[in-house]
Amino acid sequence: MEELPHRLRPHRKTRHIARNIFRGIFLFFLLMFVLGIGLFAYYAKEAPQVTQSQLQNAGSSTLYTTDGKMLLTLGQEKRNYVRYDEIPQRMKDAVVSIEDKRFYNEPFGIDPVRIVGSIVSNVRGHDISAGGSSITQQLIKLSAFSTSVSDRTLKRKAQEAWIAVHVSREYTKQQILEYYINKVYMNYNIYGIGTAAHYYYGKNLNQLDLSQTALLAGMPNAPTFYNPYITPARAKYRRDLVLQAMLKNKKITQAEYSRAITENIQTGLIYKHNTQSKLRKIDDPYIKEVVDEVREKGFDPYNDNLKITVNINQQAQNELYHLANSGKVPFTNNKMQVAATVVDPNNGHVIAILGGRHLPNVALGLDRAVQTDRSTGSSIKPVWDYAPAIQYKHWPTSKILYDTPYTYAGTNIQLNDWDNQFYGPMTMRYALEQSRNVPAVRTLQDIGINRAAKFAKQVGINVSPSQGLSVAIGANASTLQMAGAYSAFATLGTYHKPEFVSRIQTATGEIHNYDTPGKRVMDESTAYMITDMLKGVITHGSGLKAKDGDLIEAGKTGTVKYSNSELKAHPSYRGTPKDSWFIGYTRSFVMSVWTGYDTLAKGKITGSGQDSAMLLYKAMMDYLMHDKANMDWEKPDSVVTRQFNTGRELFQKGHAPAAPKKKENINRIPQRVIRRYQKNPNMTFDNGNSNRVVIIERRPNNNGQNNNNERQINRNNQNNNSQNENNSDNQQNESNQNQQQNDGG
């Protein structure tokens, strides 16, 4: 009997170990709880104060100009506030059922059940962004915090919960629900479910049927994703979830549910809207790009309460819109379209854009300056051909190129030029000034398409090398991209990505600056030599009509022909351009202009419309430069000037070329040929492969030199000159119609 205690010792030891384990677990969870409380208190201490004004007003962002002036508040002009007693009970039931069914029973504004479920979901998925927010917390998020995924941190969740406790003490459930229903974003720059009812259905809230009520109640979760216009299947799915939640919560009967769920999701939707009020047409394309850029940076401009500094120059934006829509710059007809981008090359700021002419009365509509990629024609040559040749192969401007018969490798397709002639050897300068196509293609072939693609990518032009050598004379790009690319020439080699936004301040005071020092993408010598040659395009080359008196500027034309298949469908378009470009620059500004039609059925470019791109550039640059110093580019020490028998030429130091021995070896287009086309204002064409990029180039008209008076005189006489020029061109175009067909054929 005395050995019994000895035999019981192992059991005592086991109980002792188990007790220690449970004690350890208890202490661990107690420690975690204490640490959690401490961390919560630490985060809560830094929580921002939320006022009634913040809760009641929309969560939209305010745009400011770089000088601190308020431009507008997104969505502010489209909000019809509805009071709690004006909100139908069915809408209240729908919102609460789908968003927070325990809303009325949450004494502290938080839902512990949902929070626990969210924690479990987050632990399993390793994602702290999974939802667990009550309506009160969602209201706080819309009022004081960013809604971006990157901002959904434990700190923000803790602060939301802490503020929710205070808000629940200070405001009734009715007030909180009213604020929430009026605050949510509902697409198309509109806020609040009451406002959305008018936009989507043209009704007040109390006029909506059950299906429409459920759709609007469910949209705030992801308004773009559940857009009934664009994604009706997704919208139906969300509406059905709301109806199921209402049925489960006994807010509707089975009969009501059955009727509503069978209703077509697009029943009653309005498809024509007049959404343009305070958000002026003139700024709409710019604001659209601001919204897109802010989203690209990870913020929601409609819900994050941001202060956004934009780079717009409002006076320049007004002038650009006015020039395109007032008749000061001639266009063929009202259907002819235009896009333009003006950039400050020294910092990349987009100061003005033109999304089109006669813009429709809708907010955030089509912006042709950014959204439309059209073939650039010959305006791509400095970027794809000649700048890489100087950068990588150190070609001088006197480099001899050959304008001789050329057939694309592996085909029987011959590349021709505007006059169907070949002029043999000529300098790179002359080939660029006169926009000869064969020398450009030979240049790209020499430097290698992969190296050229790498160079172009550095200045924002992304074109696949797989497109072949035809990109030497045309590639698809927007006016924004082309303005950015040419800005690297204007700064003598530094590229700034074009930006609409320079600064964002969040609701919590965090500041994000987006101005950058730029990136050197080419040697100063390369940019200077390209600029020197492009000056000649304006003074005596294909861009003569863009010349603005004594202004020191450089630029390049680009025009594109219709393909054979397009001409087969529209025979009357033969002899007219499909697209016409001009990109020009000074040391202060770069401007890129495209003109043409959205579709073939809209019409063809004729008469003075053939010069619209150059004339718009000229008028706008004259306005921009009126208070700027007219400064030339300073020649880098790495560039050497020398007189050859071809004239003044440039080369990079250390890469001196051999001078041509005989002047007659260097050919130029015969003056009699040039004079022939100077007398005829119509277009002449490259008859190259219609399945490739095919270029049209307008010949310079020396008579235009009479207009190169002082720029101040040009400004004073702008209206008269434009009208006279328009009438003269129309008359001359009519008298030379037959000649145009012969020359173009």
Find the farthest-apart pair of alpha carbons in the chain and give their distance in angstroms, rounded.
134
- Residue 505's φ and ψ, nearest 5 degrees, are -115, 125
State which amino acid sits at residue 475. Answer: A
SS3 307: strand
Q: What does the alpha-carbon distance between residue 57 and residue 316 come to, in Å, rounded to a whole number? A: 32
Taking the C-alpha atoms of 310, 552, 579 and 460 in order, what is their torsion angle to the nearest 10 degrees? -50
Amino acid at 80: N
Q: Of 272, 303, 620, which is closest to residue 479 (Cα–Cα)?
A: 620
Helix axes 210-218, 232-248, angle to 10 degrees: 100
Three-state DSSP string of 85-106: HHCCHHHHHHHHHHHCCCHHHC
Q: d(Cα 526, Cα 95) in Å, to the nearest integer? A: 62
Query: Are residues 337 and 580 in contact, defined by beta-carbon separation less than 8 angstroms?
Result: no
Nearest 5°: the CA angle 419, 421, 422 is 135
Say how far residue 205 (Cα) sits from the centre of its chain: 36
Alpha carbons 399 and 404: distance in angstroms, whole number: 16
364 three-class SS: coil
Give Cβ neighbours of residue 735 (< 8 Å, ≥ 6 apart).
none
From the number of C-beta atoms within 10 Å of its C-beta (0-12, 13-18, 19+), residue 407 rates as exposed
What residue type is 378 in one-letter code?
S
Gap between the Cα atoms of 555 and 260, Å rounded: 62
**Of 60, 61, 99, 524, catalytic:** 99
Of all helices (H) and strands (E), which one includes residue 648? strand 647-652
Q: Which of 378, 379, 470, 542 is catalytic?
A: 378
Q: How far apart are CA 92 and CA 348, in angstroms?
A: 48
Rounded Cα–Cα distance for residues 401 and 437 (Å) = 11
How far is the C-alpha of 352 from the C-alpha of 480, rounded, in Å? 10
Q: What is the DSSP string of 390-401?
A: HHHH---TT-EE
Looking at this protein, which amino acid is placed at residue 731? Q
SS3 state at 119: helix
Write the CB contacts of 641 (distance below 8 Å, at least 6 apart in sequence). 635, 648, 649, 650
Active site residue 612: no
Tokens of 414: 């011959």
Report the b/e string of 173-205 with b at 16+ CB within 10 A: bebbbbbbbbbbbbbbbbbbbbbbbbbbbeeeb
Cβ distance 435 to 459 under 8 Å? no
Closest of 530, 553, 540, 529 to residue 631, by C-alpha: 553
- 664 as an active site residue: the answer is no
**Helix, strand and coil percent figures for the chain, each rounded to 5:** 50, 15, 40
- Going along 479-623, which residue ranges are E strands? 494-495, 501-505, 511-513, 519-520, 554-561, 577-585, 590-596
Q: Active-site positions?
A: 99, 378
